[in-house]
Structure 1
Amino acid sequence: MTQSILVVDDEERLADVLAAALEDLGYRATAVTSAQAALAELEQAHFDLVLTDLRLPVMGGRALLREARSRWPGKPVVVLTAFATVRDAVELVKEGAFDYIAKPFEMEDVAATIRRALRLAEVVRDNERLRSELEGRYSFDTLIGNSPPFRRVIEQVTEVCETRATVMLNGESGTGKELVAHAVHFNSPRRNRPFVAVNCAAIPEALLESELFGHVKGAFTGALSDRIGRFAAADGGTLFLDEIGDMPMAIQAKLLRAVQERSFEAIGANRSQTVDVRLIAATHKDMRQAVADGRFREDLFYRLNVFPIQLPALRERAEDIPLLAGHFLTELSDSIGKRVTGFSPAALAAMAGHDWPGNIRELHNCVERAVIVAKSPTIDMPDLPRDLFGAPRRNGRDALPRDLDAELERIERDFILEALRRSDGVQVKAARLLGIAERSLWHRIRKLGIKLGRTVAE
């Protein structure tokens, strides 16, 4: 896409010549002769860069720069200035101008400055977009669930994220420990600093110490250069130690000192490094039992267990399954590029009756597989993995109900009523929670005879 430049100079001929030269370089250029005209153009059309003279009548280049930075903060501004006012131009750079170009100038210098400015602006936009995506991905809105056990998790995250406290996340594999760790980081004052994750179970014991603390050149065979460890890389931010229960005893002593003093020595170094790191640890193991068995240092455990958060298994928050499944369905149908809009009552019943030993990760994989194989906009029983409905239901009912239609109608009614209650009777929101179209929900409400009013009636 061709980039556009707004040229501002009160010498009309110079403005036109600059615009023509920029167009010869492949840009789209518009020339105006006053700051007021420039602001009018900026309000009406998109420009990637402003190239302005410093000395302009009525409203000068400095005032134009301030206005542009205030109203379009991501737009680079390059200032043209006479040689005698270079000192002023340097001050303008401090105020937000990308750079200045002294008159008289060569077009090659102008072109090179514009290229640098546009390249930097693109990098900044990409970084902001990526950060926005990350913050969106790990905001509280992505911690999906209304069940009492999960509401307690969200309450604890809210309580701890603004503090510096070390957090210990405990829960079965697949319960979303890393997602919660990200949420703590991205909703804390450290959100603009690094989030560094280390899986303590995935790195061999011989390499884990170097991975955490780094090493200096020549510290051991194969140490051909200095290496920065994860503690140093996370300085100012958050270090997430996943599967901390699998950390070898030999490294726990050094980790204890780093946790206590926020200082450590790289392997082979003779000086300590001090870092400002917020620690979040996670494990699926019973850490108190590990301490009792002598597999984990008691002093380290209490240093890490300052603010424990227990993540419930999915079977303990079964009422969240429709919400999670609907969220995954929307996410996956968009990424796969397939129009799948909801689940049949039988499919929802099967998912509600499954124990989910793999927890949220297993549910995500189940929905992904169903989206891939689904032949219609609604996911039905044949689209689900066979093991979902092969086992008896948790509630102790017979695997084969005496009246399947009545049972499915009861389940469908329960899900719809719950969605309507959570959305305060707003059908658009309720349909979104259930992963179905609003029209489909309306037909089901009529079919089931559900009465809508200020309060939802059964």
Structure 2
Amino acid sequence: MSSIPLVLLVDDKPDNLDLLVNYLAECGLELKVATDGEQGLELAAEYVPDLILLDVMMPGLNGYEVCDRLRNMPTTRHCPVIFMSALNDTDSKVRGFDAGAVDFISKPFQRPEVLARIQAHLTISQQKQQLRLKNQQLVQLNKELQEQVNKRQQVEHALQLADERLSALSRQEAEHWGIDAFVGDSRVVVELLEEVRNLQQAPDTNVLVLGESGTGKELVSRAIHFGSKRKLSAFVAVNCSAIPAELADAEFFGHVKGAYTGATSDRSGYFVQADGGTLFLDEIGDMPIHLQAKLLRVLEDGIVTPVGGRQSRRVNVRIVAATNADISDKIRKQAFRQDLYFRLAGYQIQLPPLRERLSDIPLLVDHFLTSLGRQMGKDYPTLTPQALQALQQYHYPGNVRELKNLIEYALIASRGRPIGAHHLRFVDLSAEQSAVDLPYHEPAKPHSNTESAETLLMNYANNTGRIDNTTAQALLRVDHGRASYLLKKLYKDGKLQKQGQRRWAFYIPA
């Protein structure tokens, strides 16, 4: 409804229209008049009045028919209609109300009655229109609230999925790096995942990630970043041991043009590149001591100044540092600043070596078979029970990275056939570890009888699918030369086949 109400008068008698116009002249209303039903319908459709005074008895379309059509027009169905008629019988009034009228004014007109009824129904109409508007607003608000509820449910569902395997982006990072240390259901992995989730919710806490080589320190660091609110900003990874000492300042803090020979333009350092995000400092234990002091200063005040520059800049960077070094030992030897350690280790997380989560090996093997097999175009690669047993008995000095490499090599070596134990290329398998892990015919004393020793070696090779010099030494409790002699003898006798050369050599049953 506009600020000035619009009233449409429909009557075939000009005298009635003149009288009504005079009554309403000083009421602050905008008036439109029509002298028949057809014209009334046209004006109603064009202007959509706030109130219609409609004569009942007219030539052509009478008032009942006009009112019925108004109710069937989308734009006028809510327009209140007051009938004007000299008919005062009950049947005529009931018929008018059935047609959709809201009131009846009897002729001849009485000015106070006409004004009172018009004002009353304009007020009612205005209130109804406001109510319809509020209902529309409530419908829209309810729709928006429902959308928020749906979004919240989606977020909760996403969080539930994240609880099972962190965030989807973290999983993509894991696949990209090929070290999915989150595969597994052992207690240590469950606890690790819980720690990572908690760190994702503390985006301003610096983290020190400790663990042996190949345990997935960078993967954990990326997961901490991409699962936090900093994920929309950069994750900058820096290998501290690979930066030349003379360039370290410029690499970390940037430089201005002409700061030194070769500085042909301004360059942002790692801190500026990671502003708002995460700076991952790998091998932090190898950072030069002089650079440690400068790093500490930035961590304390958040201000970096480029080499050769005078204008400083404040940065907001989360530091996630990682090392496989013994930081405590380096601190004792004064090779690492203790105050820097405390700044970096707002929270310290220790990654377990694979030998402490051997129950996860079947899941890890299945993961690498699937992902690597897909990359190589091999459908559903399989592993023999003997190969899986050999994998479960190995001590993995290279941790998950080494397991991944073992599976990758075996997929290539097996040429599409099931992977057997002889396809596994173990490295750094010491005699001491072999003596502990080998399940077959562990002897109580060294074998000196050649025939008995050969039988033992052949039994082991037939059971596992492969044997090498280190394994033979552990199995027979003999030195390298004796083991080499026996293996070469079995090879010359046609009982074993040799694979590989020198330190990579091993034998499989002929």
State the TM-score bracket (shorter-chain normalisation). Answer: 0.5 to 0.7
Equivalent-residue separation in structure 2 for 1:166 and 1:294 (angstroms): 22
Q: Hey, what does 1:137 align to over in structure 2? A: 173
Q: Hey, what does 1:299 align to over in structure 2? A: 339
Q: How far does residue 400 in structure 1 lie from its aligned partner after superposition? A: 2.4
Matched, 1:157 2:193: no
| Among candidates 178, 185, 197, match of residue 146 of structure 1 | 185
| TM-superposition CA deviations, 1:395-423 (whole Å, max 9, x none) | 93655248979x99xxxxxxxxxxxxxxx
| TM-superposition CA deviations, 1:113-160 (whole Å, max 9, x none) | xxxxxxxxxxxxxxxxxx976663349986112222222221111111
Structure 2: 5+ residue runs without aligned partners?
1-146, 148-166, 443-458, 465-510
Q: Hey, what does 2:453 align to over in structure 1? A: none
| Among candidates 134, 155, 166, match of residue 206 of structure 2 | 166
Matched, 1:338 2:374: no
Q: Hey, what does 1:273 align to over in structure 2? A: 313
Q: How far does residue 271 in structure 1 lie from its aligned partner after superposition? A: 2.1
Equivalent-residue separation in structure 2 for 1:169 and 1:371 (angstroms): 32
Q: How far does residue 336 in structure 1 lie from its aligned partner after superposition? A: 1.2
Matched, 1:203 2:239: no
Equivalent-residue separation in structure 1 for 2:372 and 2:293 (angstroms): 44
Q: Is the 8 A contact 1:190 1:237 kept in 2?
A: yes
Matched, 1:189 2:189: no
Change (3 A) 1:188 1:148: same
Q: Hey, what does 1:221 align to over in structure 2? A: 261
Q: Is the 8 A contact 2:170 2:223 kept in 1?
A: no
Q: Hey, what does 2:405 align to over in structure 1? A: 365
Q: Hey, what does 1:61 align to over in structure 2? A: none
Q: Is the 8 A contact 1:340 1:378 kept in 2?
A: no
Q: Is the 8 A contact 1:237 1:277 kept in 2?
A: yes
Change (3 A) 1:151 1:395: farther
Amino acid at match of 2:193: I
Q: Hey, what does 1:380 align to over in structure 2? A: 420
Q: Hey, what does 1:423 align to over in structure 2? A: none
Q: Is the 8 A contact 2:237 2:282 kept in 1?
A: yes
Equivalent-residue separation in structure 2 for 1:179 and 1:187 (angstroms): 12
- SS of 1:225's partner is coil
Q: Is the 8 A contact 1:169 1:311 kept in 2?
A: yes
Q: Hey, what does 2:349 align to over in structure 1? A: 309
Q: Is the 8 A contact 1:329 1:341 kept in 2?
A: yes
Q: Is the 8 A contact 2:169 2:226 kept in 1?
A: no
Amino acid at match of 1:249: I
Equivalent-residue separation in structure 2 for 1:391 and 1:335 (angstroms): 35
1:35-434 matches, cutoff 5 A:
136-138=172-174, 143-163=182-202, 164-387=204-427, 396=436, 398-401=438-441
TM normalised by structure 1 equals 0.57
Structure 1: 5+ residue runs without aligned partners?
1-69, 71-130, 409-458
- SS of 2:242's partner is coil
Q: How far does residue 297 in structure 1 lie from its aligned partner after superposition? A: 0.7
Amino acid at match of 2:231: R
Indicate the larger mover: 302-311 or 378-387. 378-387
- SS of 1:222's partner is coil
Amino acid at match of 2:184: G
Change (3 A) 1:196 1:398: closer
- SS of 1:154's partner is helix
Equivalent-residue separation in structure 1 for 2:235 and 2:320 (angstroms): 10
- SS of 2:373's partner is helix
Equivalent-residue separation in structure 1 for 2:325 and 2:227 (angstroms): 27
Equivalent-residue separation in structure 2 for 1:396 and 1:297 (angstroms): 40
Structure with greater contact order relative to length (CA < 8 Å, sep ≥ 6)? 1
Equivalent-residue separation in structure 1 for 2:286 and 2:428 (angstroms): 31
Change (3 A) 1:302 1:224: same
The number of residues matched between the two structures is: 282
Equivalent-residue separation in structure 2 for 1:396 and 1:381 (angstroms): 18
Q: CA RMSD in A?
A: 3.1
- SS of 2:322's partner is strand
- SS of 2:406's partner is helix
Q: How far does residue 266 in structure 1 lie from its aligned partner after superposition? A: 0.9
| TM-superposition CA deviations, 1:338-365 (whole Å, max 9, x none) | 2342211111111111111111111111
Amino acid at match of 1:157: V
- SS of 2:364's partner is helix
Q: Is the 8 A contact 1:193 1:237 kept in 2?
A: yes
Q: Is the 8 A contact 1:135 1:186 kept in 2?
A: no
Identity score, percent: 43
| TM-superposition CA deviations, 1:10-54 (whole Å, max 9, x none) | xxxxxxxxxxxxxxxxxxxxxxxxxxxxxxxxxxxxxxxxxxxxx
Change (3 A) 1:338 1:135: closer
Q: Is the 8 A contact 1:355 1:394 kept in 2?
A: no
| Structure label with greater radius of gyration | 2
